[in-house]
Structure 1
Amino acid sequence: MKRTIFCLLHAALICLVVPSTVFGASLAGVTLPDEADVGGKSLVLNGLGLREATFFKVDVYVAGLYLEQKSNNAREIVASQGTKLLDMKFVRDVDKEKLTEAWIEGFQKNSVKYGRLKDRVAQLNSMMSDVEDGSTMRFIFNTETVEVFIAGEKKGSIEGRDFVEGMLSVWLGKHPPNEELKEGLLGK
């Protein structure tokens, strides 16, 4: 009896001591950690969102937005100077053509500065390739750059504060791919 109580107490203590990064948050069968380390900075998961496409609401990817401090204010997040991370995990195959069309559409709908961003959107699109179910994309947003990673491999960086804000606005602007995605990333 004493041994059983001891084991239960020991298990409860382990649950309290284990860091939250072990647990994470889940959506549509995808689990992302509660925290992420980016260049020595610890970022917290602000929220998870699901990208759905077409009238039939086909699941495309789960995205997680990591910030230095949680926020549910899209404008403040886009305008803030700190490090941010957006992780995308695809739950279906998507060809390069659809990805590049989606980037162009997202920037056009959410950035009044699209004309100035067009060449850099083309640079982003040159980094794209077909993605398979289970593939990942990661975007690290610094004050003046966006670093692009596909399947864990760094594909390049794109310069400019206006590009950083424009790209964040693809998900957090007035016309996101779907409203549930934006709300999820904002932790609502």
Structure 2
Amino acid sequence: MTRHALLGLFLVFLFVTPVVAGTLAGVTLPDTLDINGQQMVLNGLALRKKVIFKVYVAGLYLPAKENNSEKILAADGPRCTVMHFVRSVDAGKINEAWFDGLEANTPDHSPELKKQFDTLASLMEDLKDGEKLVFTYQPGVGTEVKIKGTIKGTLGDKAFADALFSCWIGKKPGPGEKFKKGLLGL
């Protein structure tokens, strides 16, 4: 090949952005999701581990990439977290994590917010390897809770969404700083 042909190929590969889904721990999540007609991009992926066990892979979807958690939580825009479980976890353990996250990141929460977390806990089910929890916040609508592909309900307002998403990207993320950085694409 001539130098010009090689340069041309190099430039083609330099400016072509392949559409590749994000993969972590054997779990692949799509680069984009369509949420009520709005394209959301995969902001980042993270693996939740407990001691040495892989628990779930999470993907955070936003209207546009953002690596600042404070900006994400301050914006009243749509957001979605997909939790793809890679081991079985009972509902009680999942609920424990929600309440720990609420206390750690929203210590002065209102009784109404606690009540919404109680409702979330009442919806929770045991999850097995390959099953998903999906939380989609829509401004003015609330946070849709989808468990194993079935919509279980829509909860709260922006305050609930902020408290829930803070469990992963708040000041004290339950799964840890490395997990938070993964969701933020850092």
1:79 to partner: Cα distance: 1.1
1:161, 1:66 → 2: CA distance? 16
* Match in the other structure for 1:99: 94
Q: Does 2:157 align with 1:160?
A: yes
Aligned residue for 1:3? none
**Worse-superposed segment, 31-40 or 171-180:** 171-180
RMSD: 1.9
SS in 2 for 1:114: coil
Runs of 4+ off more than 3 Å: none
Q: Which runs of 5+ in 1 are unaligned?
A: 1-11
Amino acid at match of 2:156: E
Shift of 1:67: 0.5
Normalised by the length of structure 1, the TM-score is 0.85
Q: Secondary structure at the match of 2:159?
A: helix
Which of 172, 180, 183 is 1:182 aligned to?
A: 180
Question: Any stretches of 5+ residues in structure 2 without a counterpart?
Answer: 1-11
Does residue 1:32 correspond to 2:32, yes or no?
no
How many residues are matched?
171
Q: Deviations over 1:4-60 (max 9, x none)?
A: xxxxxxxx9xxx69x72xx3011111010110000000000000011111xx33211
Contact 2:76-2:158 at 8 Å conserved across structures:
no
In structure 2, what is the Cα distance between the partners aligned to 1:75 and 1:61? 24
Asked whether the 8 Å contact 1:148–1:156 carries over to 2, the reply is yes
Shift of 1:112: 3.2
- Tell me the distance in 1 between the aligned counterparts of 2:107 and 2:147: 27
TM-score by length of 2: 0.86
Matches of 1:110 and 1:99, distance apart in 2: 17
Give the residue type in structure 2 aligned to 1:185: L
Q: Secondary structure at the match of 2:87?
A: coil
Name the counterpart of 2:54.
Answer: 59
The match for 1:147 is 144
Q: C-alpha displacement at 1:99, in angstroms?
A: 0.8
TM-superposed deviation, 1:164? 1.2
Tell me, in whole angstroms, the C-alpha distance in 1 between the residues paired with 2:63 and 2:151. 22
State yes or no: 1:171 paired with 2:172.
no
Write the letter of the residue equivalent to 2:177. E
Distance 2:22 2:99 in 1: 30
1:113 Cα offset (Å): 3.6
